[in-house]
Structure 1
Amino acid sequence: MSKATRTDTQSPAPRVADSHDLIRVHGARVNNLKDVSVELPKRRLTVFTGVSGSGKSSLVFDTIAAESQRLINETYSAFVQGFMATPARPEVDVLEGLTTAIIVDQQRMGANPRSTVGTATDANAMLRILFSRLGQPHIGPPSAFAFNVPSVRASGAITVERGAKKAVKATYTRTGGMCIRCEGRGTVSDIDLTQLYDDSKSIAEGAFTIPGWKSDSFWTVRLYAESGFLDPDKPIREYTEKEMHDFLHREPSKVKVEGVNLTYEGLIPKIQKSFLAKDKEALQPHIRAFVERAVTFTTCPECDGTRLGEAARSSKIKGISIADACAMQISDLADWVRGLDEPSPGASSGRHSTVAPLLAALRQILDSFVEIGLGYLSLDRPSGTLSGGEAQRVKMIRHLGSALTDVTYVFDEPTIGLHPHDIQRMNDLLLRLRDKGNTVLVVEHKPEVIAIADHIVDLGPGAGTEGGTVCFEGTVEGLRAGGTLTGRHLDDRAALKETVRKPADWLEIRGATANNLRNVDVDIPLGVLCVVTGVAGSGKSSLVHGSIPADAGVVAVDQSPIRGSRRSSPATYTGLLDPIRKAFAKANGVKPALFSANSEGACPTCNGAGVVYTDLAMMADVASTCEECEGKRFQASVLEYRLGGRDISEVLAMPVAEAEEFFGAGEARTPAAQRILARLIDVGLGYLTLGQPLTTLSGGERQRLKLATLPQPSAGGTPRAEKGGVYVLDEPTTGLHLADVRQLLGLLDRLVDSGKSVIVIEHHQAVMAHADWIIDLGPGAGHDGGRIVFEGTPADLVAARSTLTGEHLAAYIGC
């Protein structure tokens, strides 16, 4: 990069002093980075731009942040480090001037049923202390309001004998707030017994319909048949009351089967331990399908879904229980807490005088939720239901009030899921973190965020092997004049279409009340591109995902994780690997199974995983590259077979765009593979490698990968009558560079022109401007939203300017 393209953001000073104000990266070679060298100013806001796959995350997360966290780990004692992951040093020549890095990414929060928005922050803990001090009747310490603490741990007394002496030792009683019935989960599971067995048959006749329970299974079917508690030849429907109890509910009991000591227990607890205690997403597909058929979850009738026992629900402050407080919209809860300046009736002044600092801290954290655009959430919202963007903003909450300075905050597209109206609020938060004396590094595509940067690093020029270099480093003005892809598209503004398509039909929704929807009636047009928009929390997803009838032929293409193992890749998910294996087999006169890392061709040492996992008991598994195959996953003999001069591991390491050319001509020409690769390029995934693990993909990449696997649309047809004729996309521009949005719009047009109906939940103004019809929800979020505030064409929305969306769209197109 020439010196002319750099803009020095530091005032002239001697090199020794200047170096303390810079994070210096020289010779970074992580992933696709090509000896990248940059100097980032500390205590400034630096935005990293570039097309998807250009190397932004490799530089920011996998190099700078990773090395910072590795160095922090090294400050702990060797004993403590033994319990921590030990990542390798990033491949880089020089990394200087690093400070403590705090990563605020889009990774969804764990789906643990006990985790909520309140427990993921400090809000729940503060509320528990507040109610333990001010709640009437006074029921005990803060743990009495905790739904994760059992109501009774132990009670009574035990007698301890020591020789001739006897002593009575009382055990302690620890009271928590957990609902006994649902154990603090808020839901109870009901098992559909008809999915477990056919009661018209006996056990000997094969009554069990549970996957894997075969008649000769020693640990399951034979255990029940030969336990002595049941008659194996009697139809289950003819069991006596005692036999039915022993069959379904008997507590663990020791039995002998063919001389072997085994433990017998009722069918229901056995199923709960065998299937329900495991992560459903980790189950094999047929087992997961069985669980989804056999088990239903309903709101706990004892606590009405609050997770709390009766005592915790009975203690109130000004008529509000802690369950009521957690169920409030956070913006309302913040107002309620502000009204707690005076002692509640009956509360002792001594107890109240100690809660003033607590009230101040609680107000601050609740106000942070509102300020960051999450005031529509409630503290009892399960954390696993948050989107990636919501999860990232919840993680920000804990940092906004931090007294730490000179910290490096690293953000991954913090504007994801935000309406244009909310982006300014996010910008203000980023600037506030900077102004406290912190270094803020942001990976972002939105021009509104790029515009506030003190320093910009633009990577590219392309993606994958065509990226990994610094195309520009300097100011926003320099980027505009620099001629890079980002600079050329920074001021792009989509124009409204001169003509819009006419709906072929309408999908009627009447009386929609899901979540915050206010008895909504709306007609969604079919055969056109319809965009559903509104501020975050206004009810867009509730309307589209929760209200469209199941018989409408909807195909949802969202950003949820793709089911599969850590061996899954774009090649396996799209079916691309099948024609590739067949092409290799035909060219070499051998079986296709040899070219599968999950079958005969797998490296015997790592079983085709490419890495060897070491189980460290209480610590997380450690993965190391397989020394036998050097991470290539295949046996050495398999790598001797070639197609077009490449072995199978080299093909799987190719980016999609390179592979499309490879399979399009010459000896390697494989039309079936080329068609799939062309679809991947069509959705902007030309930079992914064929064998890249799916676990490394972002939400936007996952959605576009799913879009690429949809059947190719046939021309003509009536959208309503065609099975799967309605496509629903959830923010498909997530993670897309400005230059790639136009390509996405072309793909959406082709879908519609082929007879499909496309419904897009989106905030990007370019997509709104390109729509045939817009449905705008609002006017606000949570209980301030849930209404249709506009229906019509983009031109009508701009002309009316009656909503926040209309105002921002009008400003975007320059009206």
Structure 2
Amino acid sequence: MATSTGTSSPAPHSADSHDLIRVRGARENNLRDVSIDIPKRRLTVFTGVSGSGKSSLVFGTIAAESQRLINETYSAFLQGFMPTLARPDVDLLEGLTTAIIVDQERMGANVRSTVGTATDANAMLRILFSRLGQPHIGSPNAFSFNTPSVKASGAITVERGAGRTKTERATFTRLGGMCPRCEGMGSVTDFDLSALYDDTKSLNEGALTIPGYSVEGWYGRIFSGCGFFDPDKPIRKFTKKELQDLLYKEPTKIKVDNVNLTFEGLIPRIQKSFLAKDREAMQPHIRAFVDRAVTFTTCPECGGTRLAEAARSSRIRGVNIADACAMQISDLADWVDGLDEPSVAPLLAKLKHTLDSFVEIGLGYLSLDRPAGTLSGGEAQRTKMIRHLGSSLTDVTYVFDEPTIGLHPHDIQRMNDLLLRLRNKGNTVLVVEHKPETIAIADHVVDLGPGAGTAGGTVCFEGTVEGLRASGTLTGRHLDDRATLKEKVRTPTGMLEIRGAATHNLRDVDVDIPLGVLVVVTGVAGSGKSSLIHGSVAGRDGVVSIDQGAIRGSRRSNPATYTGLLDPIRKAFAKANGVKPALFSANSEGACPTCNGAGVIYTDLATMASVATTCEDCEGKRFQPAVLEYHLGGRDISEVLAMSVTEAEEFFGAGEARTPAAHAILDRLADVGLGYLSLGQPLTTLSGGERQRLKLATHMAEKGGVYVLDEPTTGLHLADVEQLLGLLDRLVDSGKSVIVIEHHQAVMAHADWIVDLGPGAGHDGGRIVFEGTPADLVAKRSTLTGEHLAAYVGS
């Protein structure tokens, strides 16, 4: 296929048009009128630097329009319950088929969601135990930790003989599997009351120390005006009844300032508002409060299984459902395989296939009771794949976002086989990917670029892998890059001792982590890398841990607000123009009154997708016209926020606009490879790798001595890995200790010291199988990592 510039005119319809997905004039985000034909029933890999437009084309255009069109086939009533999707900015899309998106979004952080409930495995196990478990205790709901037992009464008709009947009242119980003590949570909570209030003060004096419960706030008004206690009396002088009401009172209707409200005691209110979320999903100040005020202990009644005693009493061959869910999935698959019960043969076959799919996809080390919110992005994506592996559907478009994330080189071949199997069933497989091992299996490659952000958005190459290699594009030039082992490694300045580490599958691990050097922790997925580092290193004094978790913030949040960059920028504008800094905030005094500083106006069209239209008054610039009259270095505030990091770095580095505080932050953003981001780009549009690098740029100003990074190559183009290695070197050379959990062989080769865990995953891992230099690891070839690193460096 000829190289495309992305600006060709639409091709005429041809006999093979049904074998193509035709995209014409795509302009989502930074795409520049991209026009391209993608072959159906083939595996197409989309490459290019971070921010080049890959996701905008694949997810934001093709997959988004497919899902929108499918939703429109439902009735208006059903569409009212579905997420509303706007039509992507594209002139023409033809040949679309049903798109199934398998992305890296973390699975819901709801504490009641587990690997078993997020797939069909738990539901099938519940049916199995309701049929075969002895003693027999009832329906599948009797084995569900999310279903409580409920007592109810009602009328029943009793036969009296000779055709006579009598209606009587009866009480009956619907048996659920939820442990009544912990309500299916697996843990119980104990509150440190001194963290909830200062008992020397009254409520009106600000006794409550819970986030959001200030005297002036809504909750403060409720507690002060409820009438159950004197708001001017110190809490330590409350009667037993008053203290009981303050802490535990059931929801009760009250009236405060002629407004009908509901009062509820502090403890149940905190449990509902704070503790219903997974800890990792909490905002930092809420998490700090919970860590300070609440102690979580395993439920003494159910032993952490979440299940009522009746559900735990029913067994199949000595195993109850809690035992089954706690097994490593590979072991559970063997146990199910040993059940020969003709009455439930179809159920056993389906359950066995699902469990085997976990093993096949490299997740056999998980257990079904693992909380879904604790899965990494890569684990979540592979878990979502489970339901599609056995599907009989064909001619479907599967869309994957870097499916090799979190995979050891040993496991990438297995993932490649799964992608090819989906293609061979007659499906179209679209993959956004940076790993050369996966690019190599593509039938067709689309390379976007040439750069990122405003420097990207065009198709630089489309064709075969060999054609890409010879194309001269950035991806083509770096496709065969191979790092070399360092000739000389750094000498440690000390040791960080870990003794008896036993988190998850770790087997009483003792290891010394060298300080003052670059340490890379390796091993197959599930070997215990994260358990070792996050369980025994992160959280220590002086340790800065940087992961890929979501950054909390609305669509108004952007790199400038998150990094604190906007503060020196506002002050510089204010000083240059002799006005208040608040004028230069679109969330404060300077906001356009028509759109409230959003830049767009959202119109709700009920069952149809809401429409976002550019604000006519501010023309999308978010600020009042008067604010845009003020300039710094010849630019107004909206023009500065539209700059890329690289442009802003130059702008604030010299001349009238020189602002050292802003320039220092911009330097750090450029240092981590985010020079292409615009200062005002919404945080909600960033990838996992971009989020981690943004956090890194923010933390680089801190004084922590040890940095922990979790797969920092995620989302990085081959050409950018070298820049990352340079950054890691600069951190170490500046006196920091850097510990990196990583699968990328280039990072392994660049390490001063490697700690390799394994030899396998789950209960087959959890041990240190190698400690030493990369050169020693290659020379010994004693582990899977050693074999793959040796092959990578050509030794």
Matched, 1:700 2:689: yes
Q: Pairwise mapping of residues 372-521 of structure 1 onto structure 2 (< 5 A)?
A: 372-521=361-510
Residue equivalent to 2:570: 581
Cα 1:170–1:743 shift into 2, 3 Å? same
Cα 1:267–1:673 shift into 2, 3 Å? closer
Give the Cα–Cα distance (whole angstroms) in 1 for the partners of residues 314 and 438 of structure 2.
Answer: 46
SS, match of residue 103 in structure 1 = strand
Give the Cα–Cα distance (whole angstroms) in 1 for the partners of residues 213 and 256 of structure 2.
Answer: 17
Cα 1:648–1:736 shift into 2, 3 Å? same
Residue equivalent to 1:660: 649
Matched, 1:788 2:768: yes
For the 8 Å contact 1:223–1:257, the answer to whether it is kept is: no
Matched, 1:294 2:267: no
Q: Pairwise mapping of residues 626-641 of structure 1 onto structure 2 (< 5 A)?
A: 626-641=615-630
Q: Which amino acid aligns with 2:513?
A: I
For the 8 Å contact 1:552–1:726, the answer to whether it is kept is: no
Give the Cα–Cα distance (whole angstroms) in 2 for the partners of residues 807 and 523 of structure 1.
Answer: 24
SS, match of residue 790 in structure 2 = helix
Residue equivalent to 2:545: 556
Give the Cα–Cα distance (whole angstroms) in 2 for the partners of residues 519 and 729 of structure 1.
Answer: 23
* Among candidates 733, 747, 761, match of residue 767 of structure 1: 747
For the 8 Å contact 2:212–2:219, the answer to whether it is kept is: no
Give the Cα–Cα distance (whole angstroms) in 2 for the partners of residues 173 and 107 of structure 1.
Answer: 40
Give the Cα–Cα distance (whole angstroms) in 1 for the partners of residues 284 and 560 of structure 2.
Answer: 19
Give the Cα–Cα distance (whole angstroms) in 2 for the partners of residues 491 and 636 of structure 1.
Answer: 52
Residue equivalent to 1:335: 334
Structure 1, unaligned runs of 5 or more: 8-13, 160-165, 342-351, 714-722
RMSD of Structure 2 on Structure 1 (CA): 2.9
Give the Cα–Cα distance (whole angstroms) in 1 for the partners of residues 231 and 86 of structure 2.
Answer: 58
Matched, 1:69 2:67: yes
Aligned residues: 781
Question: What's the CA shift for 1:712?
Answer: 5.0
Cα 1:184–1:658 shift into 2, 3 Å? same
Cα 1:370–1:113 shift into 2, 3 Å? same
Structure 2, unaligned runs of 5 or more: 6-11, 158-165
Give the Cα–Cα distance (whole angstroms) in 2 for the partners of residues 766 and 364 of structure 1.
Answer: 37
For the 8 Å contact 1:204–1:225, the answer to whether it is kept is: no
- Which deviates the most, 508-517 or 74-83? 74-83
Give the Cα–Cα distance (whole angstroms) in 2 for the partners of residues 190 and 783 of structure 1.
Answer: 32
SS, match of residue 15 in structure 2 = helix
Residue equivalent to 1:716: none
Q: Pairwise mapping of residues 213-362 of structure 1 onto structure 2 (< 5 A)?
A: 213=213, 220=220, 227=227, 230=229, 236-237=235-236, 241-252=240-251, 265-273=264-272, 275-276=274-275, 289-341=288-340, 352-362=341-351
- Which deviates the most, 626-635 or 315-324? 626-635
SS, match of residue 95 in structure 1 = strand
- TM-score normalized by structure 2? 0.92
Question: What's the CA shift for 1:124?
Answer: 0.6
Residue equivalent to 1:175: 175
- 1:755-796 Cα shifts (integer Å, max 9, x gaps): 111111000000000001000000000110000000000000
For the 8 Å contact 2:154–2:169, the answer to whether it is kept is: no
Question: What's the CA shift for 1:565?
Answer: 3.5
Q: Which amino acid aligns with 1:610?
A: G
Q: Which amino acid aligns with 1:180?
A: P
Cα 1:628–1:279 shift into 2, 3 Å? farther
Question: What's the CA shift for 1:257?
Answer: 7.8
Give the Cα–Cα distance (whole angstroms) in 2 for the partners of residues 303 and 747 of structure 1.
Answer: 49
What fraction of aligned residue pairs are identical, expressed as a percent?
Answer: 82
Give the Cα–Cα distance (whole angstroms) in 2 for the partners of residues 260 and 749 of structure 1.
Answer: 61
SS, match of residue 422 in structure 1 = helix
Cα 1:710–1:278 shift into 2, 3 Å? closer
Residue equivalent to 1:599: 588
Question: What's the CA shift for 1:175?
Answer: 1.8
For the 8 Å contact 2:110–2:278, the answer to whether it is kept is: no
Give the Cα–Cα distance (whole angstroms) in 2 for the partners of residues 173 and 627 of structure 1.
Answer: 61
Cα 1:385–1:153 shift into 2, 3 Å? farther
Matched, 1:809 2:795: no
Residue equivalent to 2:738: 758
Residue equivalent to 1:135: 133
SS, match of residue 47 in structure 1 = strand
For the 8 Å contact 1:510–1:520, the answer to whether it is kept is: yes
Cα 1:706–1:273 shift into 2, 3 Å? closer
- 1:511-548 Cα shifts (integer Å, max 9, x gaps): 11111110111111011111000000000011111012
Give the Cα–Cα distance (whole angstroms) in 1 for the partners of residues 615 and 286 of structure 2.
Answer: 31
* Among candidates 17, 22, 45, match of residue 47 of structure 1: 45
Cα 1:276–1:364 shift into 2, 3 Å? closer
Give the Cα–Cα distance (whole angstroms) in 2 for the partners of residues 200 and 664 of structure 1.
Answer: 53
- TM-score normalized by structure 1? 0.90
Q: Which amino acid aligns with 2:359?
A: V
Question: What's the CA shift for 1:593?
Answer: 1.5
Give the Cα–Cα distance (whole angstroms) in 1 for the partners of residues 521 and 363 of structure 2.
Answer: 20
Give the Cα–Cα distance (whole angstroms) in 2 for the partners of residues 65 and 582 of structure 1.
Answer: 43
Cα 1:41–1:220 shift into 2, 3 Å? closer
Give the Cα–Cα distance (whole angstroms) in 1 for the partners of residues 789 and 127 of structure 2.
Answer: 46
- 1:126-153 Cα shifts (integer Å, max 9, x gaps): 1011111111111111111111111125
Give the Cα–Cα distance (whole angstroms) in 1 for the partners of residues 222 and 403 of structure 2.
Answer: 56
Cα 1:86–1:241 shift into 2, 3 Å? closer
Residue equivalent to 2:109: 111
Q: Which amino acid aligns with 1:150?
A: P
Question: What's the CA shift for 1:249?
Answer: 3.0
Q: Pairwise mapping of residues 177-192 of structure 1 onto structure 2 (< 5 A)?
A: 177-192=177-192
Matched, 1:642 2:641: no
SS, match of residue 505 in structure 2 = coil
Residue equivalent to 1:11: none
Give the Cα–Cα distance (whole angstroms) in 2 for the partners of residues 620 and 26 of structure 1.
Answer: 22
Give the Cα–Cα distance (whole angstroms) in 2 for the partners of residues 303 and 393 of structure 1.
Answer: 31
Give the Cα–Cα distance (whole angstroms) in 2 for the partners of residues 760 and 505 of structure 1.
Answer: 17
Residue equivalent to 1:778: 758
For the 8 Å contact 2:109–2:277, the answer to whether it is kept is: no
Residue equivalent to 1:121: 119
Matched, 1:732 2:732: no
SS, match of residue 53 in structure 1 = coil
Q: Which amino acid aligns with 2:321?
A: I
Question: What's the CA shift for 1:230?
Answer: 4.8
Residue equivalent to 2:89: 91
SS, match of residue 470 in structure 2 = helix
Give the Cα–Cα distance (whole angstroms) in 1 for the partners of residues 751 and 28 of structure 2.
Answer: 40
Residue equivalent to 1:16: 14
Cα 1:273–1:642 shift into 2, 3 Å? same
Question: What's the CA shift for 1:118?
Answer: 0.6
Q: Which amino acid aligns with 2:82?
A: M
- 1:526-581 Cα shifts (integer Å, max 9, x gaps): 11111000000000011111012754521111111223343221111122212222
SS, match of residue 449 in structure 1 = helix
Give the Cα–Cα distance (whole angstroms) in 1 for the partners of residues 667 and 349 of structure 2.
Answer: 57
- Which deviates the most, 81-90 or 493-502? 81-90
Give the Cα–Cα distance (whole angstroms) in 2 for the partners of residues 51 and 186 of structure 1.
Answer: 44
For the 8 Å contact 2:204–2:224, the answer to whether it is kept is: no
Residue equivalent to 1:344: none
Question: What's the CA shift for 1:749?
Answer: 0.6
Residue equivalent to 2:527: 538
